Structure 1
Amino acid sequence: MTLMMVATALGWVGAIAGLVAYAMVSRGRWNADSLAFQGTNMLAGVTMLTVAATNGVWPSAAANIAAILIGANAVTSVLRAKKKKQAESAPVLRIVEDAARDDVEPAARPAVSHRVYAEAA
């Protein structure tokens, strides 16, 4: 098996992966900002870049490098958004002061007070 045959096989894999990603978004099965779509597009870009570089088709290679970079940027944005959403939806502890102690004279208060932590809904 020659390098050209391997590159050609990779090219077909990339072309099919790109078409599958496009079809899944077009049919509403994947969102454009999903990791599945962006990952599949990046896989297609890498394999098509390999074919283009092997054959010396530099305009296509450059276009695939751009597609890979755009996909990497999109994946980074999706992961940041997921991380931010998880942080925002995490339970928050808030301090609930002991209100019953406010009416006690300062001399009668214990030296160490306590706090109760409650999970906000």
Structure 2
Amino acid sequence: MTQPLDFGLVGFAELSTYPAVPQLQEHHATGRWLRVEHLLKAARCWTRSNSDDTNRPQLALTRRAQQLAEHVARILEMTFDAKAIASMFVDGVHLNFRSPAVTEIYLICAAQLQTH
């Protein structure tokens, strides 16, 4: 049996970053935001990689994902070209938190979570 994670600020900020990155990529590429189904997929990726099988934080954060992504887009002036996108992922699925872009997005998500 897996122990449920303590989703403190750090965990929620990390979980918020997972759907925010694909949201920003999609918006940059098409001018549209992702649908909830796609955001849930991103959140599930995070929970699987962190050994948590629950859905409790996923739905709430995916509802806020577009708002967070819009806020990040206003603050972070970045172009999501192929090179930037490639550097954001370790293996095409997991975010590379050593990437300056992912770090910036994470910090903005954490700041937003602290104020709400």
TM range (shorter): under 0.3
Q: Please report the TM-score for the alignment, with normalisation by the length of structure 1.
A: 0.26
Structure having the larger proportion of residues in strand:
1
| Bigger Cα Rg | 1
Q: Please report the TM-score for the alignment, with normalisation by the length of structure 2.
A: 0.27
